[in-house]
Amino acid sequence: MTKAPLPSWADTAARRRILDFVARVTHPGGRDYVPPADRVAVFDNDGTLWVEHPLYTQGMFAMDRAKSMAASHPELAATPAYQAMMRQDLPALAACGKQAVVELLLQLHAHATEESFAVEVRTWLAEARHPRFERLYTALAYQPMRELLAYLSANDFRNFIVTAGGIDFVRAFCEEVYGVPRERVIGSSNKTELKLNGRRAEIRKLAELQSFDEYAAKPVNIALHIGRRPIVAFGNSDGDMAMLQYADSGPGRRLVMLLRHDDEEREYAYDRDTHVGRLDVALATAAERGWTVVSMKEDWLKVFKEKAR
């Protein structure tokens, strides 16, 4: 006998909706059957696949980088985001907004090559620890979501991550942590250029933002990278709403989900009143359209994988 799927999910309506949806779309000859080519699922990352409080992980990374690069980047010193970083003032930094943090990070990493940037991110992720949980950030991927990714994958879905975080930041760990190949990450990006370093052709990051992958940019970038409308979409904030609407409004059966952070004890509780992962309009829309709202508190038996002893 194979193990029951989604073991970290409580036996509630949310889990049953997922199982029912997958059974229907994979049942050959059934009226909801979807051929494997069309089984595309999209997931937001921050707050959907891993912890985003007190600040997006990439913000924490940027803060550490900013400290070490202050001397060489005096032109950044005047920006509010940079100053908040230097003061380690998380609320102030969060108040600057995700785009300001992403743009600052682009500035900090202009001229990095794709390879050198990946090494930098991996080195940081191997050491930096979350201030509350005191664990590596990659250990704060949600166990129920890792199980969901694996379950969909086993049912011939192709999972994509669609994040407002940097595309190459997430690509530095997506394979090990989520089992999602790098080419299935869509995210915010800066412009890059091809440079010849002797005979070696390298991709170098430029300081200019190319796409800030939130709100309507998510479906726009899904169309660019995937070229097919997803049938499963999972988010947790207003920034994901356009992506959820886009997945929802295709023909046939759809599974659209929102994760609600209502578990102060095991993780965090926030919705309308937060600078990080604000959930307001999307929650009202979910009620109106019958999207599944997953309660971290009620629907998950476990939030994180246990610490190795």
Peptide bond into 54 cis (omega under 30): yes
Beta carbon nearer to a copy of itself, 95 or 220: 220
Burial of residue 109 (CB within 10 Å: 0-12, 13-18, 19+) is buried
Give the residue, chosen from 75, 127, 134, 193, that forms a contact with a copy of itself under the rule CB under 8 A.
193
Q: What is the spatial distance between Cα 92 and Cα 147, in angstroms, rounded to a whole number?
A: 35
Q: Which x/- pattern over 141-180 shows residues binding a copy of itself (rule: CB under 8 A)?
A: -----------------x-x------xx--x---x-----
Give the residue, chosen from 19, 100, 110, 226, that forms a contact with a copy of itself under the rule CB under 8 A.
226
Q: What is the spatial distance between Cα 174 and Cα 165, in angstroms, rounded to a whole number?
A: 12
Decide: is 35 part of the binding site for a copy of itself (CB under 8 A).
no
The one segment of 14-22, 100-108, 119-127, 240-248 that binds a copy of itself by CB under 8 A: 240-248
Sign of CA dihedral 251, 281, 238, 149: negative
Give the residue, chosen from 34, 139, 162, 242, that forms a contact with a copy of itself under the rule CB under 8 A.
242
Mode of pairing for the β-strands spanning 255-262 and 232-235: parallel
C-beta atoms surrounding 178 within 10 Å: 24
Let me know: does 258 contact 294? Beta carbons within 8 Å: yes
- The gap from C-alpha 98 to its chain's centroid, in whole angstroms, comes to 13
Number of chain residues interacting with a copy of itself (CB under 8 A): 39
Smallest distance from the beta carbon of 110 to a copy of itself, in angstroms? 15
Contacts (CB under 8 A) with a copy of itself, residues 104-123: 114
Decide: is 37 part of the binding site for a copy of itself (CB under 8 A).
yes
Query: Which residues of the shown chain bind a copy of itself in the complex (CB under 8 A)?
Result: 37, 114, 158, 160, 167-168, 171, 175, 181-185, 189, 192-194, 196, 199-203, 210, 216, 219-220, 223-229, 242, 245-246, 248-249
